């Protein structure tokens, strides 16, 4: 695509359509409540909302719309790959030599650390959710 704004809008279209679908499904379920169809519509709406959240989150180490929005806004293509290379190799060498990190390296380091914290937090939340369900 030609410009950054157009790429961001295209990347946002998918999650936006999920949010619209979630709203419409939830509204339809409230109109039809209480019925089995309303329950199904509500569950589909909740899944659409969850899908929008996952696709908008740029910090899951996944190639989703949120990641593309972030890299386009920062003008840093391949941010995830740069973060991985930096954290697994170049960072330690730079720290050992007490070299300053460049702006793109600081972004990559921040992205990598926030991504790692996000994945750990979601994993821990899932474990706690399952453990709570198993105790019942």
| Residue 23 confidence (pLDDT) | 95
- Among 131, 19, 133, 12, residue whose Cα is nearest residue 72: 12
| Residue 1 confidence (pLDDT) | 56
Average pLDDT, whole number, for the chain? 91
| Residue 4 confidence (pLDDT) | 86
Is residue 82 scored above 60 in pLDDT? yes
Burial label, 118 (beta-carbon count in 10 A; 0-12, 13-18, 19+): middle
Percent of the chain, pLDDT > 70? Answer: 99
| Residue 110 confidence (pLDDT) | 93
Average pLDDT over residues 55-79: 90
Domain parsing of the chain, residue ranges: 1-75, 78-136
pTM of the model: 0.80
- Dihedral, CA atoms, 94, 97, 103, 107, nearest 10 degrees? 30
């Amino acid at each position: 695509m030609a410009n950054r704004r157009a790429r961001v809008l295209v990347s946002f279209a998918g999650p936006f359509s999920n949010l619209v679908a979630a709203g419409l499904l939830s509204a339809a379920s409230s109109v039809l409540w209480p019925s089995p169809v309303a329950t199904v519509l509500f569950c589909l709406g909740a899944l659409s909302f969850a899908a929008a959240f996952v696709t908008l989150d740029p910090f899951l180490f996944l190639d989703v719309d949120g990641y593309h929005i972030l890299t386009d806004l920062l003008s840093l293509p391949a941010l995830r790959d740069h973060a991985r290379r930096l954290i697994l190799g170049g960072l330690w060498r730079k720290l050992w030599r007490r070299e300053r990190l460049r702006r793109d390296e600081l972004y990559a380091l921040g992205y990598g650390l926030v991504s790692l914290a996000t994945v750990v937090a979601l994993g821990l939340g899932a474990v706690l959710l399952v453990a709570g369900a198993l105790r019942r």
